[in-house]
Amino acid sequence: MSITIRHDLKTVAGQFEIHGEFLGAEPYGSGHINDTYCVYFDQGGSPVRYLAQRINHNIFKHPVALMQNIQRVTTHLAGKVGGERDFSRRVLTLIPARDGRPFHQDPQGNYWRIYIFIEKARTYDAVETAAQAFESAQAFGRFQRLLADLPAPRLNDTIPDFHHTPKRFLALENAVAADCAKRVGLAGTEIDFALRRRTMTGVLLDAKLPERVTHNDTKFNNVMLDDATGQGICVIDLDTVMPGVALYDFGDMVRTTTSPAREDERDLSKVKMQFSMFEALVRGYLASAGEVLTGAERQLLAFSGKLITFEIGLRFLTDFLSGDTYFKVHREGHNLDRCRTQFKLVESIETQEDQMNKLVESL
Ligand code: ADP
Ligand code: GN1
Ligand code: MG
């Protein structure tokens, strides 16, 4: 097993309630924010793996409050699915640190957590079938529904104004004005595209939709699909679970689960909103969360896909112009490539929005 890693995972994992002998660790997954590792232990002669994460505390400024949210949410969900078959694969389970806390802080100030590894399931960076779209939307909808009765107090805001699109727009305008990485000249087309769409940024906020417990990062690769059945078995990546609007979640599903292309695809001809995928998302989401949605929320389902795609495009563009300080990048122009796929998808949604709305009305 290759061990080309920056952190001492043996020492970190040793701080958690895991028995057996440490075998090794390797970087894992393709998230843009945290550092994720798969950690192997020998337990009674068999290798068992765990999922360890270093929380990116430059982005999540209050890791303790964040872990408090995750502990409350996973405990609540575990109470709901406890009786189901195979329940330990249906909800993330935190391994406690040896001092009883749900995380460990290392001497360098990094915050770590370890989860049970969900076996016989995986995430996908790009959607392949409408059945997968249905399953993921149903799983995220169910997640929202099961958390609707989370007891008070309100969850902590792990990133304030995370989906406040007008503020994301303003951040782009500021980045253009500052041009601190001298890249404005490289992104004129994308900046114009964004600036022409200012009016849509306030629509969800102005609609005064109800506040709910939402996931806020419902990327297709944040749900694990069962290898054998394809079922959306477990919603993961809970850092941004906080009070929000249901449509932030549905919108991000449209963004990440209707186009066959990866988020950083350079051949933009591959990027498109596939109607069959949208239909599967709506059906899956309504099957699990439909009962709790208001009429206003239903009416804005298609719009939310356009808005959240636009919003994440704004964020990629802002980060490109600011010198790539937020999202992990793996090549030159990576954030600009990501922005371009988002804006291409916005255009694709714009041309199909009427039919998308008609479909929602018909269901
Ligand atoms: P990021 O915030 O960086 O996106 P994630 O929490 O989404 O990090 O984790 C990154 C990847 O690790 C996921 O896409 C998934 O493939 C894998 N992963 C996360 N949690 C688990 C788990 N408990 N069991 C198995 N795989 C997991
Ligand atoms: C980040 O952590 P990850 O890779 O699932 C980001 C999301 C973006 C997404 C774009 C905390 O999600 O908001 O939509 O990248 N998470 C955070 O791919 O900013
Ligand atoms: Mg993720």
Atom 1 of ligand 2, nearest CA residue: 32
d(Cα 121, Cα 226) in Å, to the nearest integer? 4
Instruction: Verify whether ligand 2 is closer than 6 Å to residue 217 (CB atom).
Output: yes
Ligand nearest to the CA of 60: 2
Distance from Cα 33 to the centre of ligand 2, integer Å: 7
Q: Which atom, in ligand 2's list, is nearest to the CA of 221?
A: 5
| Ligand 2 contact via 219 beta carbon (within 6 Å) | yes
| Ligand 2 pocket residue status of 237, Cβ below 6 Å | yes
| Ligand 1 site, residue 28, Cβ cutoff 6 A | yes
Dihedral of alpha carbons 280, 286, 289, 293, sign: positive
Pocket test for ligand 1, best of 74, 123, 124 (most atoms within 8 A of CB): 123
Instruction: Tell me how far the alpha carbon of residue 80 lies from the centroid of ligand 1, in angstroms.
Output: 22
pTM of the model: 0.96
**Ligand 2 center–CA 232 separation, angstroms:** 20
Cα of first residue to Cα of last residue in the chain, in angstroms, is: 50
pLDDT computed for residue 5 by the predictor: 57
Render 174-220 in DSSP notation, one character per residue.
HHHHH-TTS-GGG-HHHHHHHHTTGGGGGHHHHTTPPPEEE-S---G
Rounded to 5°, the CA angle 128-133-137 comes to 155
pLDDT one digit per residue (tens) for the chain, 363 residues: 334 457 899 999 999 999 999 999 999 988 899 999 999 999 999 999 999 999 999 999 999 999 999 999 999 999 999 888 888 899 999 999 999 999 999 999 999 999 999 999 999 999 999 999 999 999 999 999 999 999 999 999 999 999 999 999 999 999 999 999 999 999 999 999 999 999 999 999 999 999 999 999 999 999 999 999 999 999 999 999 999 999 999 999 999 999 999 999 999 999 999 999 999 999 999 999 999 999 999 999 999 999 999 999 999 999 999 999 999 999 999 999 999 999 999 999 999 999 999 999 999
Q: 213 CB contacts (<8 Å, ≥6 apart)? A: 73, 144, 147, 148, 150, 155, 241, 242, 243, 244
Which ligand is nearest the CA of 118, by number?
Answer: 1
Ligand 3 (ion): residues with CB under 5 Å are: 31, 222, 237
Point out the ligand nearest to the CA of residue 158: 2
Using alpha carbons, list the distances in angstroms from residue 90 to 119, 246, 290.
Answer: 11, 21, 21
Quote the pLDDT of residue 2.
39
Which residue from 237, 312, 329 has its CB within 8 A of the most atoms of ligand 1, so it is best to mutate?
Answer: 237
Instruction: Report the nearest atom of ligand 2 relative to the CA of 60.
Output: 11
Show the tokens assigned to 154: 């309100």
Query: Using a 6 Å cutoff on CB, does residue 342 contact ligand 1?
Result: no
Pocket test for ligand 2, best of 30, 36, 92, 217 (most atoms within 8 A of CB): 217
Q: Which helix (H) or strand (E) holds 67?
A: helix 63-81
For residue 31, report the distance from its CA to the centre of ligand 3, in Å: 5
Ligand 2 atom closest to the Cα of residue 30 is 4
What is the helix (H) or strand (E) element at residue 134, kind and residue range? helix 130-146
Cβ 97 under 6 angstroms from ligand 2: no
Q: CA 151, CA 76: separation in Å to the nearest integer? A: 9
- Distance between CA atoms of residues 259 and 322, nearest Å: 27
Tokens 């994440």 label which residue? 312
Radius of gyration in angstroms for the set of CA atoms belonging to the chain, rounded to a whole number: 20
Looking at residue 1, its pLDDT comes to 38
